[in-house]
Amino acid sequence: MGIGIFKNVKTKEGEQMPYDSDSLILMMNNGRAMSPRLMYEFSRAAMHLEQRRGYEYIQQLTNWIYSKPFEPTEIHKEIVNLNPKYIIDTNRDSKFQELLLDVEHILIVGKARILDNDYRYEIYKFDIQTKQYIKTDDEELKNAQKILFKPMGSTLPKPSFIISDADYVDWITEAMGGFAVPAFLKKYRKGKKYLFLGADFSKDTERMVANELTLDLDGGYYVKEPPLSKKEENFLKRHNLTHIPISLEEFNKYFIKTSL
């Protein structure tokens, strides 16, 4: 799941949720466009704001954006209804978590720029009785019935996000070294096919993140309205991904209709 899933999603106050890099930058900057260099990708804009106002500021700003009240999308609901064992959500909201309040699951939250160890994730077990996340270790993944991986962070159980260039450089570097994905998932993901919804592989950062998360994949499907950029075409070819050339809205209608 990528940021494009939020196209046409409004908060309860009527604000449009960010659904691409540009709209996320505008929300981070009070609706004002930034210089062309910074508008290139949201991580670059976030890095600029962090350098001006500090790390805590950009973390709090990201939490403010993704803590806004809005309903889970229909496709969030249908994916949960299909009951997959493994979901990767690169967004920073808590909608999947809200839909799993009555389901035992393991949550993996991506981290960046931590000093006490090399690992770039934390693992939590959800207690459906107390509705609380309890920090745990990799061993819990072996018997997990459902795994939700949020590599770019989440508002829950405590706000923590990978959002700026410095965050991504750290996470991707450690991912390439093998420290951003739990060992269990490195084995489990082998030979799996992936369905990419709301992703944008024209953006360098999203391609690098997707590449690290899906090593050893056996192809999959990329839903996006044409045309595709040359970078997207090359990425799909290199990873044996099939392009489904329809809008996410069209796919949602088909997906929901056929999965009911």
Q: How far apart are CA 39 and CA 45, in angstroms?
A: 7
Q: How far apart are CA 144 and CA 146, in angstroms?
A: 5
CA dist 55 → 50, 94, 162, 247 (Å): 5, 22, 11, 36
Determine the Cα angle at 153 with ends 152 and 159, to 5°.
Answer: 150
* pLDDT (0 to 100) of residue 117: 84
Contact at 8 Å (CB) between 94 and 85?
no
* pLDDT (0 to 100) of residue 249: 87
* pLDDT (0 to 100) of residue 259: 55
Low-confidence ranges of the chain (pLDDT < 50): 260
* pLDDT (0 to 100) of residue 234: 98
Maximum Cα interatomic distance, the chain, rounded to a whole number of Å = 50
* pLDDT (0 to 100) of residue 256: 64
Take residue 47 and report the two structure tokens written for it: 């890095």
Q: Among candidates 247, 171, 163, which has minimal Cα distance to 211?
A: 171
Q: What's the pTM value of the predicted model, to 2 decimals?
A: 0.96
